Amino acid sequence: MQMRRLWQVDAFTTQAFSGNPAGVVYPSDGLSQEMMLRISRELNNSETAFIYQWEDADVQHIRFFTPKQEVPLCTHASVASYHILATELGLPPGSHQMLCEAGLLPITIEYETEHPTIYITQKEGLFGPILSEQQKQQLLSALRLSASALYEDLPLQIVSTGNAKVLVGLKSKQTLDTLFVQRDLLIALGSELGVPGFYLYTFDQAEGEVVAHTRMFSPGSGVEEDPVTGNAAGALALYLQQYTNRIHQGKAIFMQGEAIKRTGLVIVQVNQNRATVLGQACTVFEAMLNV
């Protein structure tokens, strides 16, 4: 039995009890996959990050688990992890690399305040299938919506920057904010598509630098609703660059979490077909994990 440090970190915010909470465990060496899953279930955040020991290396090995399964990449938990690496574990500012199931990804830490800014360059964008008419009807049933709620000129499409999402555009923020999904239908559709996550967005009431308001549902992976989602934000930025003129000077800001009182902001920089997500975080508590 080994004592390990555990932090609860709110990502994409600098205010506690907002943004997206993630568990961060260090060191994670010696933990089995089943034990990591048990810890994730115990914490019951959308994701928990497990950082392996590092010694003056530029590569940090991290694994990510929902309460149900391991996922290849979780950007908000990456922000949380590098916040802890910088503020608690002595990782210096500058360029680093994160080794995760999605591959080797570039990381930059800018440390000018107590809340370092973390830059996470996601994998090259991959535009997958557009939903068929039958799948569109399944989605509308799962969301309890009519076809008139959707943008007619923006396809319902699977896009990935390391962890694929179905992107769904809604005309009304009120519709977005008041959604109550039929989880069994959404899980069934996600299983059919091989993509459990559905990222909903609207341009309605987006003001200033905010491009869209968003919500993220992934009950098939054990996440009923993710408060603020970095993976999906990167995919959406590339999607909007492809289909619209809403990405100005290669930058987009998305606001998420308002409907569940955990508001956060995700900043995305777009360079051709790569998205870099910027985020800050704050530590809520630290504990010792005796496993």
Radius of gyration of the chain from Cα atoms? 18
Question: Has 224 been annotated as catalytic?
Answer: no
Distance CA 175, CA 149 (A): 8
Residue with tokens 């260090």: 26
Residue (of 123, 113, 119) closest to 78 by Cα position: 119
- Return phi, psi of residue 277, to 5°: -100, 130
Provide the token pair at 203.
């341009």
What is the enclosing helix (H) or strand (E) of 50?
A: strand 47-51
157 near 226, Cβ under 8 Å? Answer: no
DSSP characters for 102-121? Answer: TEEEEEEEE-SSSS-EEEEE
Active-site option among 34, 42, 47, 192: 47
Known catalytic residues are: 47
